[in-house]
Amino acid sequence: MKTFFRNNSLVFGLITVLIAVFTFGGIFSRYVAAEQNDRIVAAAANQAEAEAARIRNETYLPMVPGGTRVDVYANSPVSATYALYGNRGDFTPTLEASYQVYTGDIAVAVIYVIQSYGKFENLKLAFAISLADDTVLSVLVLSNQETPNYFAALDASFYAQFAGKPLADAALAVDAVAGSTYSSKGFEIGLLYAREQYAADFGFVIPGAGFTLVSLSYNFDPMTFTDRPYVAVIEFGVESTIANVYLYSDFAYAGLVGGIGIAPDDQIQAAIPLVAAASGLVSAGVRFISYDAGTRTLVMTTRGYNSLTPIQVTFVLNAAFDGFSDYTISSHETYDDADNVDYGEPPYSGAAVPAVEAALIVDYQTDGVITIDTVAGASGYTVPAMKAMLQLLDQFLSAMNGGQ
Amino acid sequence: MARFANGKAPYLRKADDKAYGTAIIMRDFLIGLLPLILFAWYKNGLQVYLDGNIAFLEMFYPLVFIIVGGLLSTIFEGLFYVITDKQVRTLKALGTKLQTSFAAIPGILLAMILPLYTPIWVLVFGCLFATIIGKMLFGGFGYNIFNPALIGYIAIAFTLTGVINAAGGALNASEILIDGIAGATPLGTLSAASTLNYDALVTPYGSLWNFFLGTIPGALAETSALACLIAYAWFVFRKVIKWYVPLVFVGTVFVLSWGIGLAAGEPGLWFPTYSILSGGLMFGAVFMATEPVTTPRNPLGKIVFALFLGAFTVLFRFVGSLPEGVATAIVFMNIFTMPIDNWTAIIRSDSPIQKKTWLRIAVLAILFLAIAAYGVLKSGSDYATMIVTSPLVRGLF
């Protein structure tokens, strides 16, 4: 063994030197590589932040005149729910991001990026609000999947209505564009939510409506229900004045019932639509169209999948007002209204339109209650719309026969 | 009567002359490397430390890396001798052997042309390849047909580039902070470019002056054209190399790159200048293409060798998928060193030139022109597709 090592001492010596060089070099190499890796990660993070800042500035600075920098603004999102048009229930918008815009070192505006309501998902809007006077500066559409030609109807004049709109306006209503009612509603919900968030972040006090909504129900008076579908009881003023008022289909004030009582002032009248719509007490999607007392023919509409053309049903009520003897349906519940064969959704496997509408009407006609829970392929819009219509019909019949 | 191939008579043996032996040549060679080593240390160590981007200890890493490269190749060569040669089993014999075989050179050169953040085990792998495969298996110093350092480099480039990039790559701690560079060396940027545009290729690195000085991202010690020119001047002064070899090599790349620029609709001289100042062209031209063992010996052969080096560098760099074409071109041309030597020796000695010799000249010329034309047209059309309009011609490319 000793001889072996003596004869090969040079080899072992060289291998030892090799290991020593490798170990020393390896440790040094690992050290500098680890340091460099940390620097690369930090540099990448800095570059990513710089790029994000560039994109932020490029996207949001044009929303705020005079703005020079956009920074991320940390806050806690508030939660708020808003009633939708028609029979579509409620919607809860979400806060995607918040930014503050600076002019020099002075914060001049806040921007809220909000995932709002649309006919389809992903209507993402940014609202810029001035910190100086609590007014909306501008709105920006970041993404949407709305029907292109309808969304295009939201022209410059639509967007112009946001600039300068004071958050102190209790109603904060957005003038909808015909054909783009869902998208318009998305803007309104987004704006209301932005105000909620702004109030939480900056201590802004959302103005009260100036009245209390005591009740809100459908108008069952055939003489007036066509153009004034709702009646409400409101309480206002220091003397707690009570007034019965008519409301139009968009919940706008339409006058005192019977012309009796004290009318609320303009400010309260302007606030009524927001409060009434948010109450959820009635569905805005179902309406009486006409009633012929001679023939006891009642025409009603309800909004289902087709947002432009609601389902219309003509009922011939029986003499005892405890049901109806006949009905006719006019329905266009397919997406494009061009091929009105079925409801267009893969789960649906029944007969052509208006099979679902008819099935629910017959279901109600049988014993005065709706036993059908839902129909696959028509569960989202058509079934809820028909249920709302039949429930309103039930209330109308009850009103006509003295509550029986 | 035919002349001798390697020059005019009379011949004097100078190898044993104390002022002109192999040892003197290698000493001069190492002196020539000094400007590059010092610049590598300045650019990747001292300056970065002064910028506040690395710690004091890290400042010395470029020097340590080069020294470790030299040590590794020396150790590998020593082990090879001890294991295979019974005459070299004592420390004294081994020392003498290693001194005369210049064992450290392949490792030093290899370390200089690798990225700064190459892991040491990769350097070990490269030195093993360079010394054992590239040098010792061919018989050692003076017998190798390939440049040993480049054999090690190519072994790494073809297998471990991803490892090097993952470990930090070529950019030093100051260069990673420059947004416009985006992690790429100039040739890396060029390989990803679809057009020849000054703003895209040069502006991120400052100006062409930076390319000349070497303050651009790249391998550890090959970025400075200025340092290479200093070494070139030293070598010419000391007659270590033939002055025209680097000139022909770089000049060929310059002319062909200019041709590519013209073909791509970019006639400015900035592009050929960018081309010769990028990557390891200057380093390869001065230190590798002039290596006396693996390149032709007669003057005409050296010129032919350099011409083809230029053509193949352009071909590999612009047409091939390799961002750096110099190393591949040199190793590839090493294969043809002997045939070139033979053919050019005959051409030189054949006076008056016979018909058969004209044929050899024609073959070499056609080969060169074909490679050059293909490289120019192909890469030119890659950067500007409109130049090849005929379907027949387009099919060729």
Determine the distance in angstroms separating the CA of B175 from the nearest CA of chain A, rounded to an integer: 10
Residue of B nearest to A43 (CA): B177
CB of A28 less than 8 A from some CB of B: yes
- Chain A CB contacts of B75 under 8 Å are 14, 17-18, 21
Specify the pLDDT at position B19.
Answer: 62
C-alpha to C-alpha distance for B62 and A80, rounded to whole angstroms: 61
CA distances from A396 to A299, A373, A404 (A): 12, 22, 11
| Sign of the dihedral through C-alpha B206, B207, B209, B212 | positive
Helix then strand count (H, E) for chain A reads 8, 15
Q: Give residue B15's pLDDT.
A: 56
Between the CA of residue B253 and those of B186, B258, B272, B397, what are the distances in Å? 16, 8, 8, 21
**CA-based nearest residue in chain B for residue A16:** B75
pLDDT at A89 (0 to 100): 66
Classify residue B190 as exposed, middle or buried by CB count within 10 Å of its CB (0-12, 13-18, 19+).
buried
Per-residue pLDDT band for B7 (boundaries 50, 70, 90) equals low
Using CB atoms, pick whichever of B82, B121, B124 lies closest to residue A14. B82
Span B273-320, pLDDT tens digits: 999 999 899 999 999 999 888 999 888 899 999 999 999 999 988 887
Residues of chain A with Cβ-Cβ distance to B72 below 8 Å are 18, 21-22
Q: How high is the pLDDT of residue A343?
A: 65
Q: Looking at per-residue confidence, does B168 or A256 come out higher? A: A256
Q: Do the chains contact at B75 and A47, CB–CB below 8 Å?
A: no
A18 and B94 in contact by Cβ < 8 A? Answer: no
- Identify the band that residue B158 occupies on the pLDDT scale cut at 50, 70 and 90: confident
As a whole number, the mean pLDDT across chain B is 86
pLDDT at B382: 73
The pLDDT assigned to B384 comes to 62
**Residue A213 φ then ψ, to 5°:** -85, 110
Report yes or no: B277 and B212 within 8 Å, Cβ to Cβ.
yes
Q: Which residues contact A371 (CB under 8 A, 6 or more apart)?
A: A363
Per-residue pLDDT tens over the stretch B98-122 = 888 889 999 999 999 999 999 999 9
> Would you mind telling me the total number of residues written for chain A in this entry?
404
Enumerate residues 6+ apart whose C-beta is below 8 A from B71: A17, A21, B104, B107
> What single-letter DSSP state applies at residue B3?
P
Tens digits of residue pLDDT in B23-50: 788 888 999 999 999 999 999 999 999 9
pLDDT of the residue at A80 = 86
Query: In chain A, which among 31-60 make CB contacts under 8 A with chain B?
Result: 31-33, 35-37, 39-40, 43, 47, 50
Residue-wise pLDDT for B377-396, tens only, equals 888 777 765 444 455 554 55
Q: How much is the CA Rg of chain A, to the nearest whole Å?
A: 32
Burial of B274 (0-12, 13-18, 19+ CB in 10 A): buried
Distance between CA atoms of B349 and B357, rounded to whole angstroms? Answer: 10
Among chain A residues, CA nearest to B91: A10
Q: Could you say which DSSP state residue B371 is in?
A: H
Note the helical H segments in chain B.
Answer: 22-41, 47-50, 61-84, 91-101, 104-112, 120-128, 148-159, 161-167, 186-192, 198-201, 208-213, 225-237, 244-263, 270-277, 281-283, 299-314, 326-334, 337-349, 355-383, 391-396
- Residue A324's nearest CA partner among A285, A283, A295 is A295
**What confidence tier does B350 reach under pLDDT thresholds 50, 70, 90?**
low
Measured over the CA atoms of residue B41, residue B47, residue B50 and residue B51, the dihedral's sign is negative
How far from B35 is each of B40, B115, B149, CA to CA, in Å? 8, 18, 19
Which pLDDT score is estimated for B2? 42
Quick check: A202 contacting B, CB < 8 Å? no
pLDDT tens digit string along B182-225? 667 888 888 777 778 888 889 888 899 999 999 999 999 999 99
The Cα–Cα gap between A369 and A394 comes to 9
Beta-carbon separation of B94 and A10 below 8 A: yes
Q: What is the C-alpha separation between B126 and B107, in angstroms, rounded?
A: 8
Structure tokens, A172: 């904060």
**pLDDT value, residue B321:** 67
- CA–CA dist B12, B168 (Å, integer): 52
pLDDT in 10s for each residue of chain A, 404 residues? 677 766 678 888 888 888 998 889 889 988 998 998 898 889 889 888 999 999 999 999 999 999 999 999 998 899 888 877 655 667 889 999 999 999 999 999 999 999 998 777 678 999 999 999 999 999 999 988 877 777 887 888 889 899 999 998 877 878 877 777 778 888 999 999 999 999 999 999 888 778 888 999 999 999 999 889 999 999 988 888 899 999 998 888 999 998 888 889 888 888 888 788 877 788 878 889 999 989 999 999 998 877 678 899 999 998 888 889 999 998 887 655 444 445 655 567 677 778 888 899 999 988 888 888 888 777 778 888 899 999 999 999 988 877 55
| Residue B380 confidence (pLDDT) | 76
Measured between CA atoms, how close is B73 to chain A, in angstroms? 10
The domain locations on chain B are: 22-167, 182-217+241-396
Burial grade of A82 (CB within 10 A; 0-12, 13-18, 19 or more): buried
Unique residue bearing structure tokens 């609000």:
A129
Rounded to whole angstroms, the Cα distance separating B210 from A294 reads 97
Separation of alpha carbons A341 and A397, rounded Å: 32
For chain B, list residues whose CB is within 8 angstroms of any CB belonging to chain A.
Answer: 53-55, 57-58, 61, 64-65, 68, 71-72, 75-76, 78-79, 82-83, 89-91, 94, 117-121, 123-124, 167-168, 173, 176-177, 179
pLDDT at B279: 87
Rounded (10°) CA dihedral B112, B118, B119, B121: -50
Residue that wins the pLDDT comparison between B85 and B324: B85
Chain A CB contacts of B124 below 8 Å = 22
- Structure token digits, residue B64: 């340590």
